[in-house]
Structure 1
Amino acid sequence: MQHALVYKANALVEASYRLSLYEQRIVLACIAQVRRNEPLTDQKLYMVSAQQIAKDTGTKLGTAYQHLKAASERLYRREVTLHEAPNGNGHAKVKLTRWVQTVEYRESEGIVALRFGTDMVPYLSQLSEQFTRYALADVATMTSSHGMRFYELLCQWRDAGQREVSLEWLREALQLGEHYPNIRDLKRRVIQPAVDQVNEHSPLWCKWDQRKTGRRVSHLVFTFGEKASKSPQKSRKGKPGASTETKDKNATGAIYGIPMAVIKTKSKPGESYEDAALRLLTESRHS
């Protein structure tokens, strides 16, 4: 997992769905096996083992075995609502589909094998623009599925340093339904714990504030930056759907807080400076 990267179309990052912690771990572990620039068919089988999950997340093997089977059974029934087409190719009709078309649990081996749904393939493969990328290790030790979702939403605007979302949109994206109708409960049970997960387990630091429309809290404003930087970057406005392929350089010529001189020295043949920086950042966190 050390260098495994997750690529998702921004439309999938902003889709409406709900996955449990272990369902997220299964899905992300399989997505990290997809090569962004290679064709993907809905017939390819991806596998993840309880042993791999336990090793990557720092949990006990018995715990991983226990949760993996139940999570794989639920995953087959999980739906996702997509609002945009991949690669910024115009707007799609609201599409309700499933993450996977097939899930197998091989109990004797402790392995889950899955095939992504046909409609999901374009949001995971051959992504040329408007996609979000991050290291699987960035979220591996998180203990909250909401924390994983928040991290993805921040990574989508990684170069901007700030993101504002409406409460209505956030409720829909997380499929909270009638849960936490009181804003104080929402902040206490969802928002603050998710931000705490980002701050504790990911390469980003994050703080948040609220904005009111009239007397009612209507929006949340997240300010964030790279922990590897000596000081937080000044926030810049970004536009929705901007590709995270844009270089995240600071005034000293660094990417993700790593000096360009180091990146150039340690980059591998054929590896872009952005990919090299992300790899070095992941290595530094696990060294």
Structure 2
Amino acid sequence: MENNLVVQSNELVLAAYTMTTKEKQLLLTCISRIDSRPDAPNITKQTKFTVTVDEVAKIFYTDSTKKNAFRDLEQASNRLFDREVLIALEDNKTLRTRFVSGVLYDPNGEQITITFAEDVLPYLTQLKANFTKYRLMEVSELSSIHSMRLYELIVCWVGQYQYTQSMDLDDFRYVMGIKGKYKQFGQLRERVIETAIDEVNESTNYKITVEYHKKSRGKGYEGLTLKFHRKTLDKLTSADGTLSQATIQSIVDNVQFMNDYNNHPSLSYDGKMQTDAFKREMINIIQREPESFNKPNKALESYLPKIKH
């Protein structure tokens, strides 16, 4: 599992499926074994990926819970075989398939061998664009399947230059894999939304805030808005904890910032040559990869206007 990099097409991240936390951990561990680059060796329905109990335990278990890894992996592998996934395609078409076509459990070797379903392979291999990637360790401390799903969605949206998402509650249930469940808003908020947000905020490199939308008629709520940013940007947030676009704009408008970072590796040729293109691209680069602004004494907040006392 070189670098434990998990790469999936955005269509697969946004697909609908139901899964337990242990199944998700097993699935992601197997996906992290796939070289998804366009020029990578071809993977077929015969290609097998083996994961040992010890490998999974090192990432997702503590010393006190490691004794349960063998049992959990066996149960997860049995359930994973039955899981189906619905992938939205163009022209309102939907692909109904499975994640895996075969699971071989070896109790003697304490390992699982997975064969991915043929129809799902194009969403995991030889990806050229429109994909989501993160390190397996980034979700290692998430104990809820809802937290893991929400984290993937956040990474997916940020990769598409989206830093806020508004949707009705039914659409939220769909992308979270809980369609038809938690029909009462109070249950949805307490058991899924707030739990997932709290855990992502506590255990990952992202910060999420949520606003709920009341129904235009009658009582209750009909939708929500999620706002999210990397924690590295916390110093650029407003009083409500959300990322301040005005603050980011003031940074990219700063002449010294342009002088210091006009050779940033993520800038296009136009971004390095044209002021307007530089500002436009930097707004997204700052939000997607704030850690890359790491020149000595030139952190992002150093370009903010000095507060007068």
Corresponding position: 1:67 with 2:72: yes
- Deviation digits for residues 210-248 of structure 1, max 9, x if unmatched? 123413522221111111234344359xxxxxxxxx889
Larger radius of gyration: 2
Name the CA shift for 1:14/1:49 in 2 (closer, same or farther; >3 Å).
Answer: same
Which residue does 2:278 correspond to in 1?
none
- Measured in 1, the distance between the counterparts of 2:284 and 2:173 equals 37
Corresponding position: 1:185 with 2:187: yes
TM-score of the pair, normalised by structure 2:
0.73
Larger RCO: 1 or 2 (CA < 8 Å, sep 6+) = 1
- Measured in 1, the distance between the counterparts of 2:195 and 2:229 equals 18
Structure 1, unaligned runs of 5 or more:
85-89, 237-245, 263-287
Q: Post-superposition shift, 1:92? A: 6.3
Q: Post-superposition shift, 1:182? A: 0.7
- Deviation digits for residues 162-208 of structure 1, max 9, x if unmatched? 12232112222334244321101110011111111211111101111
Which residue does 2:300 correspond to in 1?
none
- Measured in 2, the distance between the counterparts of 1:137 and 1:52 equals 12
Q: Partner amino acid for 1:56?
A: I
Name the CA shift for 1:7/1:235 in 2 (closer, same or farther; >3 Å).
Answer: farther
- Measured in 1, the distance between the counterparts of 2:45 and 2:101 equals 8
- Measured in 1, the distance between the counterparts of 2:292 and 2:87 equals 38
CA contact (8 A) 1:104 1:114 kept: yes
Which residue does 1:162 correspond to in 2?
164
Which residue does 1:271 correspond to in 2?
none
- Measured in 2, the distance between the counterparts of 1:35 and 1:124 equals 9
- Deviation digits for residues 86-145 of structure 1, max 9, x if unmatched? xxxx44621211110000111112211101100100111121222111121111111001
Name the CA shift for 1:211/1:255 in 2 (closer, same or farther; >3 Å).
Answer: closer
| Match 1:228 to one of 232, 254, 257 | 232
CA contact (8 A) 2:164 2:227 kept: yes
Which residue does 1:80 correspond to in 2?
85
Name the CA shift for 1:179/1:43 in 2 (closer, same or farther; >3 Å).
Answer: same
Which residue does 1:198 correspond to in 2?
200
Name the CA shift for 1:183/1:251 in 2 (closer, same or farther; >3 Å).
Answer: closer
> 4+ residue runs of structure 1 moved beyond 4 angstroms?
246-255
Which residue does 2:290 correspond to in 1?
257
Name the CA shift for 1:18/1:52 in 2 (closer, same or farther; >3 Å).
Answer: same
Q: Partner amino acid for 1:48?
A: V
- Measured in 2, the distance between the counterparts of 1:219 and 1:47 equals 42
The more displaced of 248-257 and 6-15 is 248-257
Name the CA shift for 1:182/1:105 in 2 (closer, same or farther; >3 Å).
Answer: same
Name the CA shift for 1:185/1:108 in 2 (closer, same or farther; >3 Å).
Answer: same
3-state SS, counterpart of residue 176 of structure 1: coil
CA contact (8 A) 2:36 2:127 kept: yes
3-state SS, counterpart of residue 34 of structure 1: coil
- Deviation digits for residues 48-67 of structure 1, max 9, x if unmatched? 22111111123332111111
The more displaced of 198-207 and 126-135 is 126-135
Alignment of 1:25-64 (within 5 A): 25-37=25-37, 38=40, 39-59=42-62, 60-64=65-69
RMSD: 2.6
Count of equivalent residues: 249
Structure 2, unaligned runs of 5 or more:
238-242, 247-265, 268-280, 296-309
